[in-house]
Structure 1
Amino acid sequence: MISRRHFLRFLAGFGAFGASTTAYGVGVEPMLRLRVARYDILPPQWPADFQLKIAVIADLHACDPWMTLEHVEAIVDRTNALNADIIVMLGDYVAGHRRVTRYIPATEWASVLGGLKAPLGVHAILGNHDWWEDNIVQRAGQGPTRARQALEAAGIPVYENDARRLTKDNHAFWLAGLGDQLAYLPASRFRPVRRIGVDDLAATLGKVADDAPVILLAHEPDVAMRVPARVALQLSGHTHGGQVRLFGWSPVVPSRYGNRLAYGHTRVNCDVIVSGGLGCSFMPFRLGVPPEIVLVTLGGPPSTIS
């Protein structure tokens, strides 16, 4: 099976595909298009009279020239303008490819993200690239990563197999954040770590102390197959919607379940929403899946996207 890396390389360089399409996929869709994907859902576990608006930011991959600090500032401004009750960030803040003119230090992009504001706060988890691009952590086999330190310094809590009880309008819910499932690169003589992930789903949900509904943040969506029905909603990123999506189908998806967990709203054991993300991984190319901020309204009508 062709990998996402090789597919994107092939697509970006495939002359017959058309120079104009390639130029659009490199210079227009990833950099100039930004939409808000809106989902209005009512999971069975969620009280019908409890409305909660969640703004979701995923897969920034901050770097010049593709995701500049100015671009991040625009994303922050547009997210704040949504007036969500809570903002969650799903990881992969650092660059995910080498075709950059500058790697933006974590302190810089985290400082900009510190401008996010919501009544119930801003909450974050880490993604695989936040771990992979930290050579010190990879060699040591343990964190914390530079990304986590920078986010926490900016006043944004980072969840790693942890959960927190929040309330709005006398309704309680739990926000749970799973440790990354692909945190460590495969073991080598330089990286002795044998276990790839730092995720512990049982420990995370074990911190939920009552029967209030649970929202789970998990960077990679595949864990949905193991998430119990106790969870009302899982929010994930990582896939970028395949980064190329044609007629609702992604040719290459970094998920063992393919297009089932590539993008959008589905239901496995719980409701799952997979964001198409904002930046690019492996290649600065997006086609048919423009960068997006996600706005989820729990307690509303069926899903829509605009």
Structure 2
Amino acid sequence: MISRRGLLKLIGGGIVSMAALGGYAFAVEPLARLNVTRYKLTPPNWTPGLKLRAVVLTDIHACEPWMPASRIASICRQANSLGGDITLLLGDYVAGMNLVTSYVHSSEWSKALATLEAPLGVHAVMGNHDWWEDRTAQKNGGGPTFGHKALQDVGINVYSNRAVRLEKEGQGFWIAGLEDQLALVPGKKWQRKRMSGLDDLDGTLAQVSDTDPVILMAHEPDVFPRVPSRVALTLSGHTHGGQVRFLGYAPVVPSRFGERYAYGHVTENDCNLIVSGGLGCSLAPVRFGMPPEIVVIDLG
């Protein structure tokens, strides 16, 4: 039988351990760690001989003090050093945690992102928080949002259900970007009874006019079951890998498919999806078992 003193030691040790874990999740992992996660794959319909390196950043969630403009600029410098042919931004530039963090204006985070460089350009889509934080866009039921405008003003290509053909050393491929799948929140004033998206997968892919491979940017991975095998690779963020993971399991994943598309490289029906764990925090400024990451993908 445990003694009273032993019980107090056990309780005290548990409190100290919990405080240490909380401090790590609150102040160390989201602030002091940054991983580079690498994937190498050749999708079934990839053009033989086409070598392409994509550097992917997503879910920045700019805010003070966890993700100020200075830290975004530092992340961009590291991204530039990774030798990418193309840089892809997958949305959620704003934080959505205004009750617990300080606001970073779009002119500040977009200026930091403007330091990104790649031979084939920097290309972006928007995320749900970019829409949710824009009251005018919500009232109008459409964009552009202030995020669209901020990125376009600094010369970053923004895709809203659009596909563009690019070339590397004479070999073509397509970048297609969906508008957000959860863009509009419910509200009686705007006659929306449930969350609705502004994504148009069919219309976007209809713009692809040849057989060259397609890379699809979609902030949320939930579109993946509808993506045809015509698309070589789908890239998503949004889930943060669950943001908190214990022994590889995330208790909460913001996807109707749960863990199915929570994180990493997924293959289904000859289709490839890579979901990044992202860089910032949503709902609460904590990360545990899922440090911020830049994703590097070597195709071909």
TM-score, structure 1 normalization = 0.90
Match of 1:86 in 2: 86
Aligned match of 2:98: 98
SS for the counterpart of 2:123 is: strand
Matched, 1:186 2:186: yes
Q: Distance in 2 between matches of 1:285 and 1:123?
A: 28
Residues 253 and 16 (structure 1), Cα distance of their counterparts in 2 relative to 1, 3 Å cut: farther
Contact 1:66/1:100, CA 8 A, preserved across alignment: no
- Alpha-carbon contact 2:70-2:112 (below 8 Å) kept: no
Q: Which residues of 2 match residues 1-306 of structure 1 at below 5 A?
A: 18-189=18-189, 191-193=190-192, 196-269=196-269, 270-299=271-300
Q: In the alignment, what sits opposite 1:4?
A: none
Whole-angstrom distance in 2 between the partners of 1:273 and 1:297: 12
Task: Answer whether contact 1:176 1:214 (CA < 8 A) is retained.
Answer: yes
* Amino acid across the alignment from 1:279: G
Larger Cα Rg: Structure 1 or Structure 2?
A: 2
Give structure 2 stretches of 5+ with no counterpart: 1-13
For 1:158, the aligned partner's letter is V
- Cα displacement string for residues 17-65 of structure 1 (whole angstroms, at most 9, x for unaligned residues): 7010000000000010001010011111112421100000000000101
Give, in whole Å, the separation in 2 of the partners of 1:231 and 1:182. Answer: 22
Moved over 6 A (4+): 14-17
Q: 1:253-296: CA deviations, max 9, x gaps? A: 11111111000001124100000000000000100000000000
Task: List per-residue Cα deviations over 1:53-107 (Å, max 9, x = no partner).
Answer: 0000000000101101111011110000011000000000001213444211111
Q: 8 Å contact 1:91–1:125 — kept in the other structure?
A: yes
Q: Answer with 54-63 or 90-99: which moved more.
A: 90-99
Match of 1:58, as an amino acid? Answer: T
Instruction: Summarize deviations over 1:142-181 as a string: whole Å, max 9, x none.
Output: 2110000000000001101000000001210000001100
Contact 2:221–2:238 (Cα < 8 Å) also in 1? yes
Distance 1:226 1:61, change over 3 A: same
Q: TM-score, normalised by structure 2?
A: 0.92
Q: What SS class does the counterpart of residue 210 from structure 1 fall into?
A: coil
Q: Which residue of structure 2 lines up, in the alignment, with residue 302 of structure 1? A: none
The secondary structure found in structure 1 opposite 2:291 is coil
Q: Shift of residue 188 of structure 1?
A: 2.1
- The 8 Å contact of residues 139 and 192 in structure 1, kept in 2 or not, is answered as no
Q: Deviations over 1:172-213 (max 9, x none)?
A: 000000110000001322x33467100000000000000000
How many residues are aligned here?
285
Q: Which structure 1 residue ranges, 5 or more long, are not aligned?
A: 1-13, 300-306
Q: Aligned equivalents of 1:69 and 1:293: distance in 2? A: 17
Q: Alignment identity in percent? A: 53
The equivalent of 1:3 in structure 2 is none
Instruction: Say which SS state the counterpart of residue 158 (structure 2) adopts.
Output: coil
**AA partner of residue 202 (structure 2):** A
Partner of 1:6: none
| RMSD of aligned Cα (Å) | 1.5
